[in-house]
Structure 1
Amino acid sequence: MLLWIVLAALTAAVAAVLILSLARGARSAGADRAGEIAVYRDQLKELERDRAQGLIDAEQAEYARAEIGRRLLAAADAANEASQGAGPRKIGYPAMVVTVVPPAIGLCLYLLLGNPGMPDQPLEARLANPGNNIALLVAKAERHLAQNPNDGAGWDLLAPIYFRSMRLGDAEMAYRNAIRILGTNPARLAGLGETLVAANDGIVTEDARLAFEEAAKLDPTNPRPRFYVGLSHEQAGRRAEALAAFEAIAKESPADAPWMELVNQHITKNGGTAVAGKNAPQTASPEKALGNPSQEDVAAAANLNQGDRQAMIRGMVDGLAARLKEDPDNLEGWLRLVRSYSVLGERDKAQEALKSGLKQFPSSGELVALANEIGLAVEGTMQ
């Protein structure tokens, strides 16, 4: 209550200063004009002295006297008007209204609608009941952890949220704190590894590789950390080890597993032959299992001229793009679409496909690695 009283008093003081300034304005103008008139009179006297001493001829003196006289009369008229308008009674109503009315209206509205009892820190109330506001939930958790830094469950909760928000430095800190306090498990180790990969533009660093290897030991059935281990071998130029790692994943994975296409791409890249996966139907070729062109499609394309072949490829790429619009939850499809546009020389479409893929899979180190491989920009795409 005291605050608004002080503010009202300050407002009244400012209004009073403005009113007094307006009241003195006419008198100040009159004083200025009086000084100007004195200057012109002095100029007339000097002109007469110069004429008497022969410093200026009669004709020039008459012209100068006429000009000075004109200015003297104008100043005298202005001074007369200012003196007649001087005094508080001549302050215009618009000036009074602009100076006084807004503060008065503001004060009345505050007295009518204001709430002097409102808490000084409304953020406290919002944090106490954040509802479904993720930003407030994160802020509440961060405040709790600042007061309880050894709460491993809190760090474990925040780490994946930081990662999905691409706050990679905070995510790494949270994962490391959770591991330090709660110990290792496959999810924490894999999360730490993926954070390090994303922070290094798709490169599997030594710390990331060690995290993935330990995660794979704790959960050998999870192909994700094993894939990153194979990727680290590939990036280091150890093609035989990379091929063995990718082939092991493919042989142990169902034929219709969503990661099979990506794994087979790396198998082929490292000199191997695509694997159909376990329990794959014998009648289905590996190409069909992956959704790639069959041998018959390749043979038919070989018999086409350049224009028809290009049209066939364009149709396949457009069909893939249409399928991803209907079913965007397909990481391998986004990888193939980005690479296809790059091969066709359509970098703008490749960049747009990369952006859409990272929007659907913000934690995908595979997409980041592919972007670095073909020279697409990743910075800013994952925001």
Structure 2
Amino acid sequence: MIGFILISAVIGALAAWRLAMPFFKASASGTANRILALAAVPVVLLGALGLYFVNGEPDAPGAPYSEVAARLNATNPEELSPDEQEARLRAILREDRDDLQALTLLGRFLARTERELEAVTFFTRALQIEEDPRILSDLGQALVVLNDGQVTPEAERAFDAAYALDPTLPEPAFFLGAAYYARGDLNGAARVWSDIIARLDAGDPFRAAIAARAADLLSRPQGGPGSDGAAPFADAIAVGAAPEDLANMMVDRLEMRLEDDPDDLSGWLTLARARWMQDEPEAGHAALDRARTRFENNPGALVLISAMQSAFSGEESDG
């Protein structure tokens, strides 16, 4: 302990001397400055010693950093606490800042512990070493969480790159479809979602989750009367048409549009949902049957249609 105090004193004296040097270099007439310089030496020295006595723990066992790092590295990761796991990854990166696995694992650990901004930094460093689709997906997801669920342009670029490298990964495809949907590109969203659903195994939980969510989003009515700048139902509204009459007019208009564009999967799902909400389940099922016929060669689209059918069946049984 005495040795440590002496070392601290020497360090404090050297620090004080460096602080005082500008005063010694003052002009010969600066006597007051030299006095201040001499006074600064014991002040800084006492301050250094005081900080040690207040904050130091001379009786703590402690351990050199190298010993801690060696212990963490020699321990089974499953036996480490979360803090120790993080410390182990950071220790690896101190030895090799380009360790791709450590960069990726630390980024994922930080993302799981709500430190997305730092996670983005590590994912970016990892991608400078290797453009890996999973790391790109990790980066995109961290950016989405960081921006309160919004698929920003930066996140979309990451998902797009991941999807191009590996179209079998479910997360990039889902979020890429979500970006299309947010822009109003329903056909683009339906295409990406149908594609990933078709690629996933039947028992994959991602398959059912994406199908249910995609069917829900794609079946939601988009806009309303006059949403394209026109007002096709203005006359009916002006004469005080009942809300249900307006709804019927919009659904009939959707059916007419599907006659001209039968490849609009979102349109068929929306029509089925609308008929269902109008308490016309048979018409809803008929719309889905027509959609199945149209998309019989699209396995992903058929899964989406079945997901919509399941939603109908669940509501009907509840009713």
User: TM-score w.r.t. structure 1 length?
Assistant: 0.41
Structure of larger gyration radius = 1
State TM-score, norm by structure 2.
0.48
